[in-house]
Amino acid sequence: MKLAIIGATGLVGSVLLKILKQRKFPLTKLILVASKSSIGKKINFNRKAYEIVSLDTALKLKPNIVLFSAGSGVSIEWAPKFKLIGSTVIDNSSAWRMDSSKKLIVPEINAHLLSKKDKIIANPNCSTIQLVIALSELHNKFNIKRLVISTYQSVTGTGVKAINQLESETIGEESEKAYPHKIYKNAIPHCDVFEKNGYTKEEIKLVNETKKILSDDSISITATAVRIPVMGGHSEAVNVEFSNPFEVSDILKILKNTSGVTIQDDVNQNLYPMPLTSEGKDDVFVGRIRRDYSKENALNLWVVSDNLRKGAALNAVQIAEYLIAKNLL
């Protein structure tokens, strides 16, 4: 089992390596790729030093699985090249997510759609993954009619430059800016770039990817994405309107039995999901579960998850594990 990571020195790349080790992924050869400036440098994995190589070198080594986390441009150019040599690509960028010929996969929900023919598989946006994990089983039972999503997103979703900006501003120093404004002690309603319709790409991803993963274009969805000065994970306030009536006790029962979900919902003990406590964890945490009395068949949820783990690296590794288990390579 030859596995390549494209973008091995990035935030997601480092978490991918950590998760591969933690889950004892069945590797026989590990191929690490990063930018040209990193070629020749070494990364330690399982007490062994691995030298970073170029994309051309990785291609010649013919990996079985390639985990891409290096941006859309790299994926668009190189994923088809790996596909041509028989590799299976799992791509963490937005390059292929809305391509009708590519599967957009969250293993707990729709891994069963995968076949040996799928050589480029899209990993959803981090905010989308935690949202659909929390909602998929509820949709199956009560049929979601409308979603209103407000996100509170960690700077880790932007990358190292954003982390450096927050850390510098926290101690009163200036640094290269990842955002058009200070992020320390601030909330910026601007994740990704603005489109002509007034929504950001992040907000549009939440709408389109949710519909694709849940296989339902009839759901009305609107979103506002906000960047906040936290590190540990993304938070979402989610208002759900169902077509069918429900009891909150049924919601709790379904969520309790949903794979990948942990309920944290005891306001008497000040227990609810937070980025600080979700960091480094695999699950999606759901709390503040309560009926919305302003509308019939409506519900409020608070959903938090580590965006670098389940929102990116873990989801990709779980897809790879599924492919191996089902002999789909």
Q: Which residues are catalytic?
A: 126, 234
Alpha helices in 200-313 (DSSP H): 201-213, 248-256, 275-278
- Alpha helix stretches (DSSP H) within the chain: 11-22, 55-60, 72-84, 107-110, 126-142, 160-170, 201-213, 248-256, 275-278, 314-325
> Is residue 244 within 8 Å of 146, Cβ to Cβ?
no
The answer to whether 307 touches 234, Cβ cutoff 8 Å, is yes
- Residues 225, 293 contacting (CB under 8 angstroms): no
Rg (CA), the chain: 20
% helix / strand / coil in the chain, to the nearest 5?
35, 25, 40
Angle in degrees, CA 77, 83, 87, rounded to 5: 125
